[in-house]
Amino acid sequence: ADDFERLLQMDQDLPETYEESHRRSTGQREEDADRQHDAIANLQQRPESLNDYLVAQLDEWELEPEMEEMCKRIISTLDPRDGGYLKVQLRDLLPPDASAELQDLARRSLEVVHQLEPPGIGARDLKECLLLQIHAGLPCYEAMRRIITHHLEDLRENRLPLIAKATGMTIAQVRTTWADIKKLKPKPAAEFAE
């Protein structure tokens, strides 16, 4: 009876936080840890941002520090949701009293950015974007350059006879060139947009 009385007294003296709860076995804990590990492993890696992608390419160039800094400033303004176009004026990236040398540095830095992948990045408009994507090695390069430069609006309005007359090309040549132009990317950075 004394022992029973002592046990009752101990039960009243101990706080409720010592209530016995379900304890997981070692196997259950390992199973939970494996499940968490699998969940973390299955998470997709955060996709590389446009800025990171361009700066990584820039790091491969051996540029003067001033030019590298200006290129990074230009890159920081490019938004993949806008296709990677340069939506600001170069002069807006410079101090109001920028010297002619600094303005020239900005212009040359933009030329460097234009050479990065994806082709057409940093263009100021659609025409420049498309022109940055073609090169002299393409079979229809001259025809593409001429049509993009002078007849982009005519292409949009499907005025192929007008283009043929102005360029001296046949309608078939204009169509072939147009098919090649359609392969270009009007928004080169779109794949980086969420």
Give pLDDT tens digits along the chain (194 positions). 777 787 777 767 665 555 555 566 677 777 776 776 666 665 555 568 999 999 999 999 999 999 999 999 999 999 999 999 999 999 999 999 999 999 999 999 999 999 999 999 999 999 999 999 999 988 899 999 999 999 999 999 999 999 999 999 999 999 999 999 999 999 999 988 87
Tell how far CA 130 is from the center of its chain: 18
- Say if residues 192 and 120 touch (Cβ distance below 8 Å): no
Does the pTM of the predicted model rise above 0.85?
A: no
- Nearest Cα to 73, choosing from 52, 94, 57? 94
